[in-house]
A = this chain, B = another copy of it.
Amino acid sequence: MTIHEKRLQSRDIQPTAMRMRILLFMAETKSVISLSDLEEKFTHADRTTLYRTLKTFLEHGLVHQINDASGITKYALCSENCTCSYPDDVHVHFYCFSCEQTFCFPHLGIPNYDLPENFTPSNGNFVITGSCPSCSS
């Protein structure tokens, strides 16, 4: 059994061939991706399958979702020990308005905000927009 197969099973996701390939792709690119990115990579697979795979991964806490200024939903693999809990597992992301890439900054956590009375947090989305190294020169 491969490391990726174990990873899926540890999150109670049936390790189908399709899911294995998508997980492998996300693991080796190490970047934040969108559904369209998967479509470009897996031209043989159907858009719906890719969509539902991401949805399954999300629901089982294998990936986290990022809403950046592009309006397109992005996804990134969670770290091995991530439980997607707030605020500990929530971190900063960066969206480059020039190349439209999004980056994970897992080392940049978020403050434990003191919210107004009776606001109960469960998750967070923190995105800084600007210019990435490739586009800043």
Within 8 A of B (CB), among A107-137: 108, 110-111, 113-133, 136-137
Q: How far is the CA of A61 from the CA of B130 in the complex (A)?
A: 17
A34 within 8 A of partner (CB): no
A78 on the B face (CB < 8 A): no
- Count chain A residues whose beta carbon lies closer than 8 angstroms to a beta carbon of B: 38
A94 in the interface (beta carbon within 8 A): yes
Q: Which of A12-20, A38-46, A49-57, A64-72 contacts B (4 or more CB under 8 A)?
A: A64-72
Q: Is the CB of B130 within 8 A of A118?
A: no
A8 within 8 A of B: no
With contacts A94-B115, A119-B130, A125-B129 known, what are 19 further pairs, Cβ within 8 A? A67-B71, A68-B125, A69-B125, A71-B71, A71-B73, A94-B121, A105-B115, A108-B115, A110-B126, A111-B111, A116-B133, A118-B136, A120-B130, A121-B128, A122-B130, A122-B131, A123-B128, A124-B128, A126-B126
For this complex, 9 residue pairs linking A to B, each with C-beta atoms less than 8 Å apart, are: A92-B113, A94-B121, A105-B115, A111-B111, A119-B128, A123-B128, A124-B126, A125-B126, A126-B127
